[in-house]
């Protein structure tokens, strides 16, 4: 068969990512701080845009009531109309690079949305500075790797919020336990785990506990040193004779002990950056009505509101004579219109997702952290008729505020384990916590193997495989039954 060049005409469908569609997708995943920066940049760049001013009532009327409280019963949420544009349903899995390459030449470089700068703008000097790692970020990274379950991670996050710039945990443990609905013992256990984080001495509640943690890390917290740390007031006053008597040591040993204490760090958190720390502003507020239902409302302070100045647009359109001037005005009008629509869509989507999360996790808001249910992105996406990627974008860097504190929306998603009797599924984090408890309670002569743990869990109605038990045990940094028996035999 001869090979000859020829022309063919084919018809097909292809997704074209317009700049406006790229913008709508990008805005979904921005935090409220990044969104504000982006909008500020657009206000400077686009002469047709202006910030909406006025009372709260005026704002509620302009957005069709999106910011008003929505009430629903904990058993069933009312249906909501689909959004005008479900951008993630059209292109759910495109990367940032793919978005930038798709479609026609952009009117605005939406890939720069987080910084609020145009493509031709040079980066400001503040963008070239290295961001110092904050103490909270440092502790949060260690909390993620600590092998704790979902409940314990939430408790740990609340404890981190109570740490001051010097590294001290200033909140009362009992008060935290009551607020989040967790046992005091569990909060104290999480605090003990976190007191093993770096830097040594972190998360202490006072100077004596801070120094004790550092001495224990150096294996120097013997009874004499414990008595010295317990009488720091006498040390500060220079009552060395009384300290010799209390510690039951001679003068030379006491001075060596004092030198060790003075070599410790009384402010373990002081070495971390703090200049860029910002308090988290919740995107959604959750309140309980007198009849027991939950009210979900957007935080209007974090939702920038902009308008397109139609009167100014009409004026400049008439006065524009040159073709490039007319094109510029048209581009500004198109960008302004799509930005207003995208911001409105973003607010509706956040509200929709938050309301479904509250409906699914009403046990947490009502009874506390121990009542978290298994939940994944697919469940929420199906309930609100959106794509999973849309829910994922919406829950990134978004926070809700309730009586129990401020929590990231992503926290409420946990995996599930099927019930052996066909009943309600169990949270994977709850199962992980159960495995940890079984091993901690095992007797000296009855070390539990993974197979035995599977049998015990199935007796409790939890259908789980042996490899899953092993995976959860390893994530908790618990050695195998053979290694635990060896340690027990060696006296550890």
Domains and CATH numbers, the chain: 28-51+66-73+277-414 (no CATH), 135-276 (no CATH), 416-490 (1.10.10.60)
pLDDT in single tens digits along all 492 residues of the chain: 567 788 878 887 765 666 666 777 788 888 888 888 888 998 988 888 888 775 343 344 334 443 333 333 333 333 233 333 333 333 334 333 333 333 333 333 333 333 333 334 444 444 434 446 788 888 988 888 787 877 888 888 889 988 888 899 988 999 888 888 888 999 999 999 999 898 899 999 999 999 999 998 888 888 899 999 999 888 888 888 898 899 988 888 889 888 988 888 888 888 776 544 456 788 999 988 888 888 899 988 888 888 888 888 888 888 878 888 888 888 888 888 888 888 888 899 999 999 999 998 888 888 877 677 778 888 899 999 888 888 888 888 888 888 888 888 887 887 655 555 555 555 666 677 788 888 888 876 678 888 888 888 888 878 788 888 888 888 777 888 888 887 777 665
State both tokens at 211. 């120094």
- The distance in angstroms from the start CA to the end CA of the chain is 80
> How many Å apart are CA 36 and CA 293, to the nearest integer?
32
**E-strand stretches of 216-288:** 284-288
The distance from CA 46 to its chain's CA centroid, rounded to whole angstroms, is 33
* CA distances for 144 relative to 27, 341, 449, 450, angstroms: 27, 37, 27, 25
Q: Give the residue among 140, 162, 163 at the shortest CA–CA distance from 153.
A: 140
Contact by Cβ (8 Å): 205, 188: no
State both tokens at 69. 């409280």
- Total residues found in the chain within this entry: 492
> How many Å apart are CA 301 and CA 185, to the nearest integer?
38
> How many Å apart are CA 29 and CA 381, to the nearest integer?
16
Q: Given the structure tokens 């479900």, which residue do they identify? A: 86
Residues 454, 456, 458, 460, Cα dihedral to 10°: -150
Q: Which residues contact 198 (CB under 8 A, 6 or more apart)?
A: 138, 142
SS3 301: helix
Contact by Cβ (8 Å): 378, 413: no
Burial environment of residue 396 by CB neighbours within 10 A (0 to 12, 13 to 18, 19 or more): middle
């Amino acid at each position: 068969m001869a090979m000859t060049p020829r022309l063919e005409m084919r018809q097909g469908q292809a997704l074209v990512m317009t700049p406006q569609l790229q913008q709508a997708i990008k805005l979904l995943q921005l935090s409220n701080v990044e969104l504000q920066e982006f909008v500020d940049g657009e206000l400077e760049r686009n002469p047709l845009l202006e910030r909406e001013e006025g009372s709260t009532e005026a704002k509620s009327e302009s957005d069709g009531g999106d910011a008003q409280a929505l009430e629903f019963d904990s058993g069933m949420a009312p249906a909501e109309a689909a959004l005008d544009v479900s951008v993630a349903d059209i292109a759910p899995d495109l990367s940032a690079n793919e978005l930038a390459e798709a479609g026609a030449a952009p009117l605005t470089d939406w890939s720069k949305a987080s910084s609020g700068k145009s493509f031709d703008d040079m980066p400001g000097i503040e963008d070239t500075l290295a961001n110092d790692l904050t103490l909270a970020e440092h502790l949060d990274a260690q909390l993620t790797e600590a092998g704790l379950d979902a409940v314990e991670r939430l408790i740990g996050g609340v404890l981190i919020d109570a740490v001051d710039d010097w590294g001290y945990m200033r909140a009362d443990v009992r008060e935290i336990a009551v607020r989040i609905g967790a046992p005091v013992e569990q909060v104290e256990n999480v605090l003990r785990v976190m007191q093993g984080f770096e830097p040594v001495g972190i998360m202490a509640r006072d100077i004596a506990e801070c120094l004790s943690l550092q001495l224990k890390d150096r294996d120097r917290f013997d009874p004499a040193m414990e008595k010295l740390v317990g009488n720091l007031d006498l040390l500060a006053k220079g009552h060395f004779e009384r300290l010799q008597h209390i510690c039951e040591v001679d003068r030379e040993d006491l001075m060596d002990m004092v030198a060790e204490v003075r070599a410790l760090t009384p402010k373990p958190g002081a070495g971390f950056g703090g200049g860029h720390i910002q308090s988290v502003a919740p995107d959604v507020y959750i309140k309980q009505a007198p009849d027991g239902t939950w009210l979900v409302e957007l935080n209007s302070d974090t939702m920038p509101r902009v308008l397109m100045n139609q009167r100014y647009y009409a004026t400049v359109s008439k006065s524009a004579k040159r073709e490039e001037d007319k094109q510029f005005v048209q581009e500004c009008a198109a960008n302004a219109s799509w930005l207003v629509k995208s911001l409105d869509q973003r607010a509706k989507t956040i509200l929709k997702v938050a309301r479904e999360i509250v409906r699914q996790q009403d046990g947490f808001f009502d009874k506390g952290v121990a009542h978290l249910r298994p939940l994944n992105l697919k469940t929420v996406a199906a309930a609100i008729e959106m794509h999973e990627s849309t829910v994922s974008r919406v829950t990134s860097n978004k926070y809700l505020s309730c009586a129990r504190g401020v929590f990231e929306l992503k926290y409420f998603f946990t995996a599930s384990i099927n019930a052996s009797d066909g009943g309600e599924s169990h949270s994977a984090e709850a199962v992980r916590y159960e495995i940890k408890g079984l091993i901690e309670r095992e007797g000296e002569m009855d070390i539990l193997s993974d197979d035995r743990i599977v049998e015990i869990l199935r007796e409790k109605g939890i259908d789980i495989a042996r490899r899953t038990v092993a995976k959860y045990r390893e994530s908790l940094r618990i050695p195998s039954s053979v290694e635990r028996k060896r340690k027990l035999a060696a006296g550890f």
